[in-house]
A = this chain, B = another copy of it.
Amino acid sequence: MTPERPYHHGNLREAVLERAAVVVRERGVSGISLRELTADIGVSHTAPRRYFPDRQALLDALAAEGFLRLGSRLGEAAAAAPGFQEQVRSIADAYVAFALSEANLAELMFAHERGEGDALVQQRATEAFGPLLETFRRGQAEGRLSIRDPERAGLLFLATLQGIAGLRSCGVIPEGEVDQMIDETVAQHAARAATGELGGVS
């Protein structure tokens, strides 16, 4: 009555990643064990070796996958909003929501210890932040930035959101403060359309 598993799983790589994503969500990075994952899937614990030479490679792939998902969230958020300030607001909400609901994954994504997969993770990260930076470039073209260089403005905005999410996740920032802090952040970075004058550089 064994469910007649074929010898080849079919797409073990995806299955492992998918299961790992669940475990990471529920029990964190330290809860990921190759042996447990493979046992859940029903293969031997060395089977994923072809795809992930070691545990770190799996973590790298998981982080890359996370940036893919984050990227599409940010893309959707930017696309769903009409103007510059609305886009900035929408992106901020999407980013923080993602980082808070996937706190364990986010911790992995922004970890600085990586293995061979580092290059891919970096690339996926860059791609994920594309929509945000693109929005800021448009914002600059419209003269809506309070910081000149749009790259720097975007990265600083990103850093602030990341900091808010991180400090919230580890308990430094109280839960109720988050929304208002996002408000302040959006206000700081996205100047109003009506107001012609912006905070100029000294």
Contact = CB atoms under 8 A, between A and B. Distances in A.
A190 interface: no
Interface residues of A, number: 42
Contacts of A30: 113
Nearest to A148: B184
Nearest to A181: B156
Interface stretch (A4-12, A46-54, A77-85, A169-177): A169-177
Contacts of A161: 163
A119 to B, nearest CB: 10
Given A160-B160, A163-B161, A185-B156, A171 B112 contact: yes
A170 B107 contact: no
Contact of A163 (B118, B158, B173): B158
A140 to B, nearest CB: 14
Number of copies: 2
B162 A167 contact: yes
Interface in A51-102: none
Contact of A129 (B159, B172, B184): B172
Contacts of A117: none
Interface of A: 28, 30, 103-104, 107, 110-113, 118, 122, 125-126, 129, 146-147, 152, 155-156, 158-164, 166-167, 169-173, 177, 180-181, 184-185, 187-188, 199, 202
